[in-house]
Amino acid sequence: MPLVSTGELVSAAVAEGRGVAAFNVITLEHAEAIAAGAEQAGAPAILQISENAVTFHGGRLSAVAAAAAAVARASSARLSLHLDHVVSADLLRAADGEGFSSVMFDASKLPYDENVKATADAVRWGHERGIWIEAELGKVGGKEGEAPLDAHTPGVRTDPSEAAAYVAATGVDALAVAVGSSHAMTERTAALDHTLISALRATVPVPLVLHGSSGVPDAEVRKAVTSGMTKINVGTALNTAFTGAVRTFLDANPQAVDPRKYLVPARTAMAGTVAGFLGLM
């Protein structure tokens, strides 16, 4: 079916009191697995491509975006395309016309005032083109080149009153908040601050986004959705499934050379992970 917009999927989730999961696309097999997992679960999903994934593809956005969009359009599931963790203003502008209905503009490394200014500019640019903009306040650690933050690391959590002021000053459509999760966790051991999630939900007028959900146990993901998180981002869990399946196959078949032999189980394993997360929404 045609691409759905991320704003539409997130608004529907808010209205129905559930979550909507967003999964990171690195290879074509990731996109195919996300579509297959969404079809299995009978649920909508967001395919997201990060700036790091674009860098992996030689800094060229078009090929990976076109592939993900084509996979989404060929699926019977309701799927949208999102550009994730964009730091580069050039990449933000490249999103227009590539099928993206939303962008996460990441100015979280900047001091507060500069973050507000850069994000407000990105929002103005996006809204002129019907593109929904997500931003981050606080610090969800473990991005490429950083160690995963300990879930209890103090001083990085999002402050509810600052978050409300930030949303008012920037006009963002959704806000990624730091509530105890961290990117790139390969063990699902993160404990979330549910009191903080409830406080943010009460103070912030736009949908909240949980990054680093791969490291969050099932029960905690479910509780986060109940406490008021709407967009649930999952990246590393797909890579854990992918690489685990490839490693198992190659350990058992060290002479294999045809990549289809190990990419089939890798893609099937990722689809299972996708369906599992969608079942928590």
- Positions annotated as catalytic residues are 84
- Closer Cβ to Zn ion, 82 or 211, answer by number: 211
The response to whether 183 counts as a known ligand-binding position is yes
Query: Cα separation of 211 and 179, whole Å?
Result: 9
Nearest to 39, CA basis, from 81, 80, 1, 77: 77
- Closer Cβ to Zn ion, 139 or 211, answer by number: 211
Query: Cα separation of 35 and 45, whole Å?
Result: 8
The least CB distance from residue 212 to Zn ion, in Å, is: 6
- Closer Cβ to Zn ion, 146 or 187, answer by number: 146
Residues 237, 240, 246, 249, CA torsion sign: negative
Q: Measuring CA to CA, how many Å separate 267 from each of 130, 221, 241, 273?
A: 33, 23, 8, 10
Chain residues binding Zn ion by CB under 5 A are 211
Query: Cα separation of 10 and 171, whole Å?
Result: 16
- Closer Cβ to Zn ion, 139 or 267, answer by number: 139
The response to whether 127 counts as a known ligand-binding position is no
The least CB distance from residue 5 to Zn ion, in Å, is: 20
Strands (E), the chain: 20-24, 45-50, 79-86, 102-105, 132-137, 174-177, 208-210, 229-234
The response to whether 211 counts as a known ligand-binding position is yes
Packing angle between helix 218-227 and helix 194-203, nearest 10 degrees?
30
The least CB distance from residue 110 to Zn ion, in Å, is: 16
The response to whether 85 counts as a known ligand-binding position is yes
The least CB distance from residue 24 to Zn ion, in Å, is: 8
The length of the chain in residues reads 281
Query: Cα separation of 92 and 85, whole Å?
Result: 10
The least CB distance from residue 183 to Zn ion, in Å, is: 5
CA angle 266, 76, 241 (to 5 degrees): 15
- Closer Cβ to Zn ion, 30 or 211, answer by number: 211
Q: Measuring CA to CA, how many Å separate 14 from each of 157, 191, 222?
A: 23, 23, 15
Q: Measuring CA to CA, how many Å separate 185 from each of 48, 146, 147?
A: 18, 12, 9
* Binding-site annotation: residue ranges for Zn(2+): 85, 106, 136, 183, 211
* Binding-site annotation: residue ranges: 85, 106, 136, 183, 211
